[in-house]
Amino acid sequence: MNIILLSGGSGKRLWPLSNDIRSKQFIKIFRTPDGNYESMVQRVYRQILSVDPDATVTIATSKSQISALHNQLGEQIDISVEPCRRDTFPAIVLAAAYLHDEKGVQEEEAVVICPVDPYVNEDYFEAIRELWTLAQQGEANLTLMGIDPTYPSEKYGYIMPVDQNKRSRVSGFKEKPDAATAQKYIDDGGLWNGGVFACRLRYVLDRARKLLNYTDYKDLYERYETLPKISFDYAVVEHEPDIEVLRFGGQWKDLGTWNTLSEAMGEASVGDVRIDDTCTNVHVINELGVPILAMGLKDAVVSASPEGILVADKAQSSYIKPYVDAIDRQVMFAEKSWGSYLVLDVEENSMTVKVTLNPGHRMNYHSHDHRDEVWTVVSGTGRTIVDGMEQPVRVGDVITMAAGCRHTVIAETKLQMIEVQLGRNISAADKHKYELNE
């Protein structure tokens, strides 16, 4: 089974846990059987492989998410990288061309495209496999998944089947409605459009050749920023007469707001939290190193991270985005392919960061033009390479790098350092990468 997972969005509606770098699908809040926590993308990836261990999974995403994906899913995953954001049609076409030209998937093979962040159970991926099988049989150009609606939602578009069978031809599509119109669509048999569809790979590539006049993956990638910003629904689905829909009646939730996210949490709190028995319908997520105590709250969500603190009524939390848009602040936490960093302090001419490297990983060999750096090892062991000179490091060691100096660190065990950056123009853009010959 070939699957393309669409991973996008900044997830500002889940601030302060999400930001421009850390999208909602990377937040670890779902308890695993071994007592740890996993994110939406880890959960979905695990569920796919539990249903089909031989599935070929390709994640279509932007450059900003590559490090987090490698951190959470490993270096072996296949990623179709968008040079810039151009909406779902260009993203899907680029991923399809990547599968064909770079991975050798034949045009007659079926592929399923779906979002990376629904909250579902394994039966959803059993339905995905059935969807893939239908596409492989090729009785329709497109086969969609239609979600049985549980309420008259104004957030989703609607697929209108011609009958109430599990598998049906599609008579048309409806835009996101108001609540009254949504109820009418449901009464007429309408299904939520969850953005899941399957087809032969050839179908996507042929549509792309016609609409974008491209030759191959390299050509598409090089002129990607010139492609039109348009969704796959508008560019393809709504113009295709030969469509079937497969009905899905299992659990399916779009965890796009704090209200819906808290409904899917298996417990009332994550992190160092105390909730007294006078609280009702309260969820607290704490990523800070200080305790949170909640008392006498009702229908509320509390979330604390290095980015900020949210205390909100659950219903009101859906309207968070304009307030978050107005916050202009240094990103304080991010996952990297080698580990993570946490900003501890920001001053006019300095920034202090706690760096954590996973065992066996290293930073890029790099330099900065406008800042000096000082590393102090606080736990673990590893090696540093500074202007070609290698030395072992352990707890208590201090390494100093002047501006222009090439440097990296390699973790042997889990390695933590306090990094002090000193300079007038401290910026993530002030970085030059080099090849490292060890």
pLDDT tens-place string over residues 140-172: 999 999 999 999 988 889 999 999 999 999 999
In a 10 Å sphere around its CB, with 0-12 CB exposed, 13-18 middle and 19+ buried, how is residue 239 labelled?
exposed
Mean pLDDT of 283-290: 94
Per mean pLDDT, which range of 94-103, 240-249, 253-262 is the poorest? 253-262
Q: For residue range 77-94, list pLDDT tens digits in order.
A: 999 999 988 889 999 999
Residue 438 has pLDDT above 70, yes or no: no
Backbone angles phi, psi at 239, to 5 degrees: -110, 0
Q: Which pLDDT does position 10 carry in this prediction?
A: 62
What the block records as the tokens of 409 is 């660190």
Mean pLDDT of 307-318: 93
Residue labelled with tokens 């996952």: 335
Q: Which pLDDT does position 12 carry in this prediction?
A: 79
Residue 117 has pLDDT above 90, yes or no: no
Amino acid letter for position 186: I
Q: Which domains, and CATH codes, for the chain?
A: 2-254 (3.90.550.10), 267-319 (no CATH), 338-434 (2.60.120.10)
pTM: 0.86
Q: Which pLDDT does position 378 carry in this prediction?
A: 98
Share of the chain above pLDDT 90, in %: 78
Residue 215 has pLDDT above 80, yes or no: yes
| Beta-carbon contacts of residue 365 (< 8 Å; ≥ 6 apart) | 385, 406, 407, 408, 433, 434, 435, 436
